[in-house]
Amino acid sequence: MLSGVWTAVAAGDPLRAELEVSTCMAIPHVAGQRDPAETESFISTVLVDEAVRRETPDGAALLRVLMSLGTPSVKKTASRALGELTGTGVYPPEWVTEIGKVTPGQAWRRYDIFGDDETVAATFSYGDSEHAVAMQVDLTGIAITTAIGVATNAANLIEAVRREDDEFDRAEQISLAEARRRMEEPLARCEEQADPGLSTDTVAYLPIARTRIRRLPAEDGYQRPEFTAADRAAAVDDFMKSPLAADAVAADEESTRFWAEVLTGYSSRVPGEPPALVGPRKLAHILLGHVVNSFDLSPAQRQHLEPAVTAWILWSAGHRELTETQTARLVEQLPVTFGRFDEAYGDPDSATIRGYVSDLATSDADVAWLSRSVGRRMFALPLPGPDDGSGRRDVGDPAERRALVEAEFGGCTPPADLTSEQFVAAAYGVIEELWRPDASEIFQAANDMSVNGVSRHDIIHRLAGPPSPAVGAR
């Protein structure tokens, strides 16, 4: 398993050593292990221990590479082990001082004209040797990394990104700071997920991507365009007055405006996204994900879905001056998406999820704010499972929330000076406070405890108990 690592270390090649060590760090993923704690345990008990056992400069070099690529916990473990080796007179070779100290070169972006996804690539150098990191980002929801590659031949990769062989793709050179903006948050969002479904190759390249992004400049003075609620409202008004909307408006003006506001407002989830930007995959994401999980639709709104959305899509294509072929690509999937809508909307899980946000989900609501609100409410009261006793639960109903709290906390040992009934009432009060859409002292306290590794159930326990200095009086 480590033969490639020792060969790369012996050769004194920083990039090759990084690639070999990253590949070893991904072995738990290959074996089906997705728990980060188990991965860190593997690195500590196999890679770190083997490096120490060798008691050679190559072993010290492996520890130095782990300190560059690893998580904070791995860095700490490897640093402690390296200290033990140097304490016995074993030091890493001089070349390892250059690990991670690459010089950024240039950056490019390749994106589809519909705004569904993009690939961002940046080049880096160790002396005269240049390599590149490329990241694929899904833009249909909130931007998230879906794949990472590292190319030892940077020129070939940049040539592939720049090629002009697809009328639905565009390429442009971007600043290094913009490359960082387009890579950093999607990668962090990807790593926050328990199992983002990444390929083994992507997992192996993750540590290198992290270190390279940190080498990119954070600012370059560029101010990206911002689109406000007023801009989105103006786009809706433009659509409603357009000839393409005339038939839909004549049939049902109120429902047409509802769908126009939903489609236009979806851009609010990402700063800098134009209100009329939509692609085939993003449209499916909006209708079969965002809409069915957010809005309790009236019969008129459901009936008017197809004519209103079709008109808006055609207006969007004209607004962006898409060609006839590009417009055809945009609309060709509409029948498939419409055909799946009723089933998606009627799914029991979607109906339950709507209960978390339906009281907040106006057609022109800020989607990023809605997403944060759902996250907070699902922390307060997780999605009921199939074994909770009664099928679908309407979490939007305070009585249902109270019943779920009683089921979870009624059998717990209450804190001192509280009866079981008083404790359940206090727990329900905490959850109702967390349910509120605005920030609160209790939410901040809960967030602080969560960051420190306290489980959600224990957080509610603590917050429902007698006030403490950490939480304050309620």
Quick one: pLDDT at residue 276? 92
pLDDT band at 472 (very low <50, low <70, confident <90, very high): very low
Instruction: Convert the pLDDT of each residue in 267-322 to its tens digit.
Output: 999 888 999 999 999 999 999 999 999 999 999 999 999 999 999 999 999 999 99
Taking 80 as the threshold, does the pLDDT of residue 98 lie above it? yes
Q: Which residue has the higher pLDDT, 225 or 64?
A: 64
The reported pLDDT for the residue numbered 468 is 53
Residue 134 has pLDDT above 50, yes or no: yes
Lowest mean pLDDT among 111-125, 155-169, 188-202, 254-268: 188-202
Is the confidence at residue 194, as pLDDT, over 80? no
What mean pLDDT do residues 245-264 have?
97
What is the per-residue pLDDT across 303-313, written as a single tens digit (0 to 9) for each? 999 999 999 99
For the cut 50, the answer to whether the pLDDT of residue 60 exceeds it is yes
Distances (CA, A) of 144 to 22, 192, 198, 275, 322: 21, 10, 11, 20, 26
Q: Residue 388: pLDDT above 60?
A: no
Give the pLDDT of residue 386. Answer: 59
pLDDT of residue 229: 93
| Mean pLDDT along residues 188-208 | 86
Q: If pLDDT is split at 50, 70 and 90, which confidence band does 34 have?
A: low
Does position 85 have pLDDT exceeding 90, yes or no?
A: yes
Average pLDDT (50-69) is: 93
0.75 exceeded by pTM: yes
Q: How confident is the model at residue 474 (pLDDT cuts 50, 70, 90)?
A: very low
**pLDDT at residue 299, rounded to an integer:** 96
pLDDT at residue number 452: 83
Q: Flag the least confident range among 105-114, 282-291, 296-305, 385-394.
A: 385-394
**How confident is residue 466, by pLDDT bands cut at 50, 70 and 90?**
confident
Position 196 scores a pLDDT of 75
pLDDT over threshold 90, residue 195: no
Q: Which pLDDT belongs to residue 470?
A: 43
Domain segments of the chain: what residues? 3-98, 103-215, 230-354, 397-474
What would the pLDDT profile of 146-167 be if each residue is shown by its tens digit?
999 999 999 999 999 999 889 9
Mean confidence (pLDDT) of the chain? 90
pLDDT band at 242 (very low <50, low <70, confident <90, very high): very high
- Tell me the per-residue pLDDT of 403-455, one tens digit each, with 9 for 90 and over: 999 999 999 998 888 899 999 999 999 999 999 887 678 888 988 898 888 99
For residues 240-262, give the mean pLDDT.
97
The pLDDT score that the predictor gives to residue 465 is: 82
